[in-house]
Amino acid sequence: MTDVTQSVETDAGTARVTWHRAKRARLVLAVSHGAGGGIEARDLQALARVLPAHGVSVALVEQPWRVAGKKVAPAPKTLDLGWRGVWPALAAPGLPVIAGGRSAGARVACRTAAEVGAHAVLALSFPLHPPGRPEKSRADELLGAGVPTLVVQGGNDPFGRPDEFPRGSYEIVEVSYGDHGFAVPKRADTTQEQALETITDAAVKWVTSLG
């Protein structure tokens, strides 16, 4: 259930946080969207529905550029600026905060994790490289997070399939047949609902392991 939506002023503009609160929260999972969509993304909504029942309050974060109605995401430095500005509101409940996001939001979470004091990082559809450009790797951002990290990646993600990821201290879970938005084709031997369950089950198991 959505408890509250709050506006947060940052140096990059006004951000918005939509809270889905757990009755007895022990952690906060703050997740932001990618460069091509908002918090209505199927994976973010699935996490907001499922995790509160497991003691995790979910904060869906809309970056200032989305709140302002712009169509194109700004430069990474501006995205980081907006995320840092939202962090005090995310930490206000006094609980450990997991930094998360999908696609560009996952990159932001990794880049800023150590600086903001994130408890861990949840990277959904981490864009390891631009489609068709594996030489343009962003692995250093993922490997540099410096905190426990879970990557959830579609098996057919053109921004990086699970088998393309380098070895590291992070965990990775594959969503079979999933594309960058975790959509699965109708011909696949798994359903869209099962794909989302893979994401939420992995997240529940992982956050439980964090203690």
DSSP bridge partners of 74 = none
Q: What is the pLDDT of residue 165?
A: 97
Give the pLDDT band (50/70/90) at residue 208: very high
- Nearest residue to 199 via CA among 26, 39, 44: 44
pLDDT digits (tens, 9 = 90+) for 56-72: 999 999 999 999 999 99
Q: What is the pLDDT of residue 61?
A: 98
Average pLDDT, the chain: 96
Q: What is the pLDDT of residue 2?
A: 56
Could you give phi then psi for residue 161, rounded to 5 degrees? -80, 155
Q: What percent of the chain clears pLDDT 90, i.e. is strictly above it? A: 96
pLDDT digits (tens, 9 = 90+) for 94-130: 999 999 999 999 999 999 999 999 999 999 999 999 9
Q: What is the pLDDT of residue 3?
A: 75
Helices 42-50 and 192-210, axial angle in degrees (round to 10): 50
- Pairwise CA distance, residues 94 & 6, whole Å: 17
Give the pLDDT band (50/70/90) at residue 73: very high
pLDDT digits (tens, 9 = 90+) for 180-199: 999 999 999 899 999 999 99
Q: Which amino acid is at 111?
A: R
Q: What is the pLDDT of residue 211?
A: 65
pLDDT at 52 over 60: yes
pTM comes to: 0.96
Helices 104-116 and 76-91, axial angle in degrees (round to 10): 60
Could you give phi then psi for residue 203, rounded to 5 degrees? -65, -45
Q: What is the pLDDT of residue 128?
A: 98
Asked if residue 16 lies in contact with residue 63, where contact means CB atoms within 8 angstroms, the answer is no
